[in-house]
Amino acid sequence: MAYFGWLISVAFRMYMIRHGIGGTKDVPKISFEVVGSTGNIYRTIIGKVPTCDCPDVKFRKVQCKHMCFVVSAMDVPSELMYQKSFLPSELREMLDTLSLKRKLDTTTPTSAGERKPLDGACPICFKDFKPNQKTTWCQDCGSNFHQGCFQKWGAAMQASDDVVRCLYCKVPWKGDEHETPRPTAKPVETDGPRRSKMKYPNVGDN
């Protein structure tokens, strides 16, 4: 990935909303829905040749910060970070890493209604939890999220008419009223999700 794009991906908070698996078992293709810094939802695909439907890739033909974000989230080894294409074995390793990072942590089981220790990284933005940050947690499995990240997650789910669920245990979200994900700042239009001027689905605050 381009070094400049990697720097931007670190500087701006982005959010991984969904990921799906395509391609074949031997040559997987991993697709992501990523909320960018303006609230637009982009589709980023990490395959043999990574691509994204954002303007930087579509019109400027450059590697974008969204690609850098998802590659970084998958803990790609540093020597692969700047590659413009990947081998099948490298793609399989990335998929295994991502699956582990987004799998329910059963090594620290909790009783229903008990919160897990606030450590590690948020599974939506993949940034570490830090002291004094606002967080929220699932009252079924106890998993933690940045509050702002889960609000983006919830807004994206609502925009596509999906039930807001915990990313880990998939149970419909339960939380205190003040922690429940807020709807988007602008109501979603009746004919579909709110869209930006460039027609991308948008869950920004403005």
Domains and CATH numbers, the chain: 3-101 (no CATH), 104-184 (3.30.40.10)
Within the chain, which residues score under 70 in pLDDT?
A: 1-11, 100-112, 175-193, 206
Q: What is the pLDDT of residue 179?
A: 47
pLDDT in tens, 75-134: 788 788 778 899 999 999 888 877 766 665 555 556 667 899 998 889 999 889 998 999
Tell me, what's the pLDDT at 177?
46
Q: 141-144 — which CB contacts under 8 Å span 24+ positions?
A: 141/104, 141/110, 141/166, 141/168, 141/169, 141/171, 142/110, 142/114, 142/115, 142/116, 143/104, 143/105, 143/116, 143/167, 143/168, 143/169, 144/115, 144/116, 144/118
